[in-house]
Amino acid sequence: MKGHVTGALRWWDFLTATLQALLDSEASLLKFRTAFAASLGLDAARVSLFGSGRSALHALVAGLALPPDAEVLLPGYTCVVVPNVFLHLGLPVRYVDIAPGSWNPAAEAIAQAITPRTALVVLPHNFGLCMDGIETLRERFPSVVFVEDAAHAWGSRDAEGRMAGTRAQAAFFSFEYSKPLTTGIGGALVLNDVSLRARLARRLPALRVPKRGQVLRQVLTLVWHRLGQSLPGGLMRGLSAVLRLPARAAGVVARTPDSELSGASAPDYALGLHPWSAALGLQQARRAEALWATRRRQARTYDALLAGAPGWTLPLHREGEVLLRYPVRIDDAAQRAAVMRGLVALDIVPGVWFDDVVHPAGSLRYGYEAGACPQGEAAARAVLNLPLGLHADLSPRQQQGLRALARGAAA
């Protein structure tokens, strides 16, 4: 089954991480931090590890100690965990729509939305596609803190060759199950601005080590997702149907609680990264260039397979960008539904990130008013993701079937 999770993990990594964590758990955290920073061309002093990407963002914003009336600008196409950080900190937010034909806001739209109350702006690199104009925004608005949401963008470079996550004053990364580098749950905060590092030096929280039961759930969930990339789709769907309910009832599946998606509860923002998780991340960070090259090659394959497909809008991506998923737009709802069914028949998981301006659909849209971001809403209705990663190379049959789907034929 070609899917969207554990795209950088090999089975061997589980054993290697376990041995390393047992031999020297403290060194695992330092080595991963150093290797991850090096993959971005940074000194490790700029990087702090967290139990999740949302925790990294929360630590940054809490450390800034913004006044309660300070305004935050968010992209009108994001994940619920981002606005929920500001919900839990009691800060008001406004959304800036994405640009037509893009998955990110335009820098000029951000600039026009900034007011004297604006204290912080989150700038996305959705799907690994780099947002342009960050340096210009920093120059025009020196009093505003710009934060890159690089959760999708490990390894992506902009048109000038600058790495995502290194361009704004700060950035956060996610190491969740479906991210380009996964530790199950985890994240990192990058502080690029010297004055900001000094300002936050004593304000970042002391983090707690996850309990063994929490780590075990993450390991079992990773193993399950990794298994899903190895088994035929029919077998995996059968196993999932049999095991899903008992696994959730037994609490062995790690997932974001519904109460967090609704905003009724907050995650444990003070949870750190476990040494085993860091050891697993280290295996991937050391293979960064090879992992990135695989995703770039696969994106080029999709470009060629889908070129000229009627009703499909393909992503405009640069050679230096590393896509998390290959996002296409199919605006005709009936065509999109038919393609999704056809992909399942081909053992290709049809992803739907982001299916709402504040993904996932049905979650809390903190601070969002319906109709405020029409481009984001239209994109959410039309988006379809194709998988990338170590286990996502399409067979000749799947390539032929995908080409036929794109041209309106049956798979």
* 215 falls within a domain: no
Is pLDDT at 407 greater than 90 in this prediction? yes
Tell me: pLDDT of 243 over 80: no
What is residue 47's predicted lDDT score, i.e. its pLDDT? 98
Q: Does residue 296 share a domain with residue 184?
A: no
Sign of CA dihedral 121, 129, 379, 82: negative
**196 and 67, same structural domain?**
yes
Residue 42 structural domain? 11-200
User: For residue range 370-381, what is the model confidence (pLDDT) as tens digits?
Assistant: 999 999 999 999
Supply 390's token pair: 């170590």
Give domain status of residue 373, yes or no.
yes
Q: Choose between 403 and 411: higher pLDDT.
A: 403
CA distance 130 to 148: 10
Judge whether 240 lies within some domain.
Answer: no
- Is residue 184 in some structural domain? yes
Domain boundary among 200, 223, 254: 200
Q: Are strands 71-75 and 118-124 parallel, antiparallel or unpaired?
A: parallel
Of 162, 178, 200, the last residue of a domain is 200
Q: How many domains does the chain have?
A: 2
Do 312 and 170 share a structural domain?
no
pLDDT digits (tens, 9 = 90+) for 220-230: 999 989 998 88
- Do 56 and 159 belong together in one domain? yes
19 and 138 share one domain: yes
Last residue of a domain, one of 132, 165, 200: 200
pLDDT at 380: 98
Together in a domain, 20 and 148:
yes
In a domain, 330, yes or no: yes
Residue 358 lies in a domain: yes
Tell me the whole-structure pTM to 2 decimals: 0.95
Q: What is the pLDDT of residues 182-191, one digit of tens each?
A: 999 999 999 9
Question: Can you say how many angstroms the Cα of residue 115 is from the centroid of all Cα atoms in its chain?
Answer: 28
Interval 138-171: pLDDT, tens? 999 999 999 999 999 999 999 999 999 999 999 9
Same domain, 23 and 170: yes
Residues 177 and 302 reside in one and the same domain: no
314 and 182 belong to one structural domain: no
Q: What is the pLDDT of residue 229?
A: 87
Report the SS3 class of residue 121. strand
Strand partners, 188: 49, 173
Residues 196, 296 share a domain: no
* Residue 274 included in any domain: no
- CATH number for the domain spanning 383: value is 3.90.1150.10
Convert the pLDDT of each residue in 244-280 to its tens digit. Answer: 665 565 565 667 888 999 899 999 999 999 999 999 9
pLDDT digit string, tens, across residues 320-347 = 999 999 999 999 999 999 999 999 999 9
Backbone angles phi, psi at 149, to 5 degrees: -85, 95
My answer on whether 170 and 302 are in the same domain is no
Q: Please tell me the predicted confidence (pLDDT) of residue 411.
A: 43
Residue 192 has pLDDT above 90, yes or no: yes
pLDDT > 60? residue 198: yes
Cβ proximity of 198 and 243 under 8 Å: no
- The answer as to whether 218 is a domain residue is no
160 and 294, same domain (yes or no)? no
* DSSP conformation letters of 256-302: --HHHHTTSS---TTB---HHHHHHHHHHHTTHHHHHHHHHHHHHHH
Secondary structure class of 220 (helix, strand, coil):
helix
pLDDT in tens, 20-51: 888 888 799 999 999 999 999 999 999 999 99
CATH number at residue 43: 3.40.640.10
Q: In Å, what is the CA distance from 169 to each residue of 122, 172, 277?
A: 11, 11, 27
**DSSP count for the chain of H helices, then E strands:** 15, 12
